Amino acid sequence: MNIQLLNQNISDAKSDISLVYVTAELLKKSKNKKALKLAGFSASQDSICFLHNKNTLVCGVDSFEGDDIRSVSSVAIKALKKTNYKSANVAIDDKALIFALVEGFVLGGYTYDVYKSKKEKSSLKNISIIYTKDDYKSAIKLFSDAVIVADATCFTRDIVNTTPEDLNPVTFAALAKKLAKENKLGCKILDEKGLKKENCTSMLAVGRASRHESQLIHLTYKPKNPKKVISLIGKGLTYDSGGLSLKPGASMVTMKMDKAGACAVLGMIKAASEMKLDVEIHAFVGAVENMIGGDAYKPDDVLVSRSGKTIEVRNTDAEGRLVLADVLDFAQDKVNADYIFDFATLTGACMVAVGQYTTGVMGHSSRLKHAVGKSAKASGELTASLPFNKHLKKQIKSEIADICNISNKPYGGAITAGLFLDAFIKEENKEKWLHFDIAGSAYTESPWDCNVYGGTGAGVRFMSEFLKTL
Ligand code: BES
Ligand code: ZN
Ligand code: ZN
């Protein structure tokens, strides 16, 4: 499906069908009021009604805010894809809605059919957003950025949705290499030999029972005069079986998504490089598979992390933090960044705390949390801040090592995981770092907003928005 922005009069627009957005208030004044009433349409949010004899698709919204427009546009595109219309258009006079429309159409219309032998075909080939005002130049920049971010989100979704056999640490590294080549990024990859040289013992322990070698991937986007330097770190568990602390069968299903943080940071660097942002970006990915076997790491092991800190393992299912401990340490040694952000499907506890739709944000700098929260709001992604405190920090003390990989109490699991990562952030970087727990927001088995079954691409939209503000 092709999406374009046009600058013309609505009367000149040629499409098979036009989308019209109405609130309940506007519906009262509609010339199609009678027909819509007969159809049972009351313009409630996310309801749609085809008026085929008028070549119109009426879309109900609570308001003309981006969130409402994006949401109903996702419903509309799914319905349109099932019809025989070949082209559709929508006219707007507010360029602030361009992002919402593009995301609604591209993300809401996303499907993943790689493993289907029969692909569903759609007649819909073209969708045009008609901008009726004069300042087309600024509108086209907004439009092209929106398409880049939406495409990067789909790119992230595609990788998340790929099966653990097809997307293992080694094929993940190959995919990152391909992205680097296509987008002219720097690319360095450490295999297990390289990881040993770098003393990434904690990360290596997690991947030891896998038949695929663990990989540390480092991609770089370096514009000429960057305003800021950013390190993005992603948890890339291509599969999380739980290890010897094996997950129950039902909880293991969907654990291909445990690489979503890594997939998101690839999406972010892709978007930033395509938008040609003035920020230097380093994406670090720890790609590892957490499996069982005679060679598996064990509860009771003590690991010496790259930083030198020793970690008591009490649960091999709390593996993401063991991988991130080394990758965070590596990233801080290699790059002197202004901001360090990590993205990880780290804890089920985060979903319990904030729900399935929201990304948990942790860190020491209220100012930075506020700035990122503002970008998230503008992007339409949901985030919530989870506060650290000194009492929770005591819960990850160990009797025999420097720190324990699980908490000794059942509450505050998302925060104690964040505090575990904090132990691997150097003193001088404390205020520069934020941790994003995307365990809930990265994957869905039922559609919501512009998300469909599978990976959502969580993080890509809000981080792209934040990077633009720099
Ligand atoms: N990858 C999981 C977290 C997760 C759970 C992500 C559900 C998405 C959906 C992580 O590695 C894990 O297993 N965490 C444990 C930690 C516990 C052992 C302290 C958890 O959340 O149960
Ligand atoms: Zn786990
Ligand atoms: Zn995990």
Q: Which residues are catalytic?
A: 247, 321
pLDDT at 13: 80
For the chain, give the mean pLDDT.
97
Question: What is the tens place of the pLDDT at every residue in 13-63?
Answer: 889 999 999 999 999 999 999 999 999 999 999 999 999 999 999 999 999
Pairing of β 358-363 and β 433-437 = antiparallel
Residue 383: CA atoms inside 13 Å, Cβ hemisphere, count? 27
The answer on pLDDT for 298 being more than 80 is yes
| Distance of CA 83 from the midpoint of ligand 1 (Å) | 41
- Atom of ligand 1 minimally distant from the CA of 257: 8
Task: Kindly state if the Cβ of 289 falls inside 6 Å of ligand 1.
Answer: no
Task: Kindly state if the Cβ of 439 falls inside 6 Å of ligand 1.
Answer: yes
Task: Kindly state if the Cβ of 345 falls inside 6 Å of ligand 1.
Answer: yes
pTM for the full predicted model: 0.97
Task: Kindly state if the Cβ of 323 falls inside 6 Å of ligand 1.
Answer: no
The answer on pLDDT for 11 being more than 80 is no
- Where residue 229 falls among pLDDT bands split at 50, 70, 90? very high
- 3-class DSSP state of 360: strand
The answer on pLDDT for 405 being more than 80 is yes
**Which residue's C-alpha comes closest to atom 5 of ligand 1?**
348
Place of tokens 């427009």: 69
**Cβ neighbours of residue 202 closer than 8 Å, sequence gap 6 or more:** 303, 304, 305, 306, 311, 322, 323, 325, 326
Backbone angles phi, psi at 77, to 5 degrees: -65, -35
Question: What is the tens place of the pLDDT at every residue in 139-153?
Answer: 999 999 999 999 999
Question: What is the tens place of the pLDDT at every residue in 81-129?
Answer: 999 999 999 999 999 999 999 999 999 999 999 999 999 999 999 999 9
* Paired tokens of 425: 């952030």
- Where residue 349 falls among pLDDT bands split at 50, 70, 90? very high
Q: Is the separation of the CB atoms in 86 and 127 below 8 Å?
A: no
Pairing of β 126-131 and β 87-92 = parallel
pLDDT at 134: 87
pLDDT at 251: 97
pLDDT at 424: 98
